[in-house]
Structure 1
Amino acid sequence: MTSLPTGLPDLRGLALLVAVADTGGIGAAARATGISQPSASEGVRALERRLGLALVRRGRSGSGLTDEGRLVVELARRVLTATTDLTDAARALRREQDSHLTVCASLTVAEHLVPQWLVRMSREAPEISIAVRMANSADVAEQVRSGAVALGFVEGASAPRGLRSTTICTDELMLLVRAAHPWAGRSASLRPRDLAGVPLALREPGSGTRDVLERWLAREGVTPTTAVEVASTTALVAAALSGVAPTVISGLAVQAELAQGRLVPVPLATGEQSRRSDGGPLRRRIRAVWQGPGAPGAAAARLLEVILDR
């Protein structure tokens, strides 16, 4: 790492000295830069002290640059030009950063919510282009932590550790069977222990769907039995429809199948009650997550604004 020398001049002082050269004196430089003449005089003196050089010659007839002052002015112009170039480049990078956004969403969110969000963004913020990645909730959180994406969308019982979050909406998971299954049309709620040893079509570990189900089953000391494990909601629907096994999936993913009667929800009870709880025991939150400590970047904040403006 390059170490900085001591006694570095202040950029404002350099700009003031250049103004003295361009206007012909301290008084004119003060007027050109919008400060008082005493402030301009003190600014030049501070620069002289910092550099250890006499830069301005002062007299009754006015002020002018010394030979050293003229040399410093030429060097100062280079420094100020480079500083302006740096500032302009950073501003351009911010504009580019604010016009491109990469997000990562859990499969349920990506397949059933993100498309409508993108339509609204194209209408309300067309200047922002968005790239969408898909992963399970655990991997989404990891991509946000690593800085690979600016914003993530996850589902689950709790927010990922170490990330800022806001709730977008709630979603309910359902235990679903095909219409010919013995549980179809069942009125009595199933408790977690009723599913002990029952093979299920499940999402992979790390998914928000799997996490919520396992938490509910654990209330009565039950662990899920796997008939098939997939990383796709479409595959879970197919498994249930073909009779491979009952499945637990978001109601967002099966609206057509439910309306057609091809899949039937089985009532579930909480771990403490035999009756079904209000809203179902497998209700979960869908959250947006980002790295703290403050608000997300401008493009991510704009997307959240559009999403939450219901």
Structure 2
Amino acid sequence: MEQNLFHTKYPGIRIRLLHGRTPDLTQRLKEGLIDCAIVHMPIYDSQLDIRTLATLEDSFLGGAAYQDLASRTLSTSELAQPPFLLLSPGSSSRLLLEQWFAARGFTVKPDIELGSIDLLIEFASLGCGTAFITRSFVKEELRSGKLIEFQ
């Protein structure tokens, strides 16, 4: 069996991948518990060396049950209508969404809170509500029609 080239070249290095919310990951960085993190922006912390790796686009999405909403541009009040799926409190995506709605005079309250992007995608695909998800995370679901993007 061929050994991984990385491990051959760097036999003493071990990689451990973890996932978590952006605030938790930035705290681990500051405490020296991890060496680097890939997180959602914005982050304003002078203790961290922050570099942009990619720019992602977020979208309002729903399952096939919401097909009628995809045919027209939705108002902010329509986007805020329940049932709404959100990540757990404190996640950077949720904070961004809450700030976006607040700037337009709205408060969103989730009908279902989920602890991961994967669960958010699954629940939206099942028609449990609408969600705010990074478009590149759901390319296949959008292509197949399992998820519908709102304008």
Give the secondary structure class of the aligned counterpart of 2:77.
helix
Output the TM-score relative to the length of structure 1. Answer: 0.43
Alignment-derived partner of residue 180 in structure 1: 65
CA distance in 2, matches of 1:230, 1:249: 12
CA distance in 2, matches of 1:260, 1:148: 40
How many residue pairs get aligned? The number is 145
**Match 1:147 to one of 23, 32, 49:** 32
For residues 229-273 of structure 1, give each alpha carbon's deviation from its aligned partner in whole angstroms, at most 9, with x where no partner exists.
Answer: 011112112211222111111112211111101111001xxxxxx
For residues 12-60 of structure 1, give each alpha carbon's deviation from its aligned partner in whole angstroms, at most 9, with x where no partner exists.
Answer: xxxxxxxxxxxxxxxxxxxxxxxxxxxxxxxxxxxxxxxxxxxxxxxxx
Give the secondary structure class of the aligned counterpart of 2:90.
coil
CA distance in 1, matches of 2:51, 2:134: 20
User: Unaligned 5+ residue runs, structure 1?
Assistant: 1-118, 268-310
CA distance in 1, matches of 2:33, 2:84: 34
**Match 2:93 to one of 206, 209, 214:** 209
Give the secondary structure class of the aligned counterpart of 2:101.
helix
Percentage of pairs with the same residue = 26
Q: Does the aligned pair in 2 maintain the 1:139–1:206 contact within 8 Å?
A: no
User: Unaligned 5+ residue runs, structure 2?
Assistant: none
Output the TM-score relative to the length of structure 2. Answer: 0.84
CA distance in 2, matches of 1:192, 1:126: 53
Structure 1 residues 185, 225: CA separation in 2 closer, same or farther (over 3 Å shift)?
Answer: same
Structure 1 residues 214, 261: CA separation in 2 closer, same or farther (over 3 Å shift)?
Answer: same
Deviation at 1:208, TM superposition (A): 2.1
Higher Cα radius of gyration: 1
Answer 1 or 2: which has greater strand percent: 1
Structure 1 residues 191, 185: CA separation in 2 closer, same or farther (over 3 Å shift)?
Answer: closer
**RMSD across aligned C-alpha pairs, in angstroms?**
2.3
For residues 61-98 of structure 1, give each alpha carbon's deviation from its aligned partner in whole angstroms, at most 9, with x where no partner exists.
Answer: xxxxxxxxxxxxxxxxxxxxxxxxxxxxxxxxxxxxxx
Q: Runs in 1 of length 4+ with deviation above 6 angstroms?
A: none
Q: Is 1:129 aligned to 2:20, yes or no?
A: no
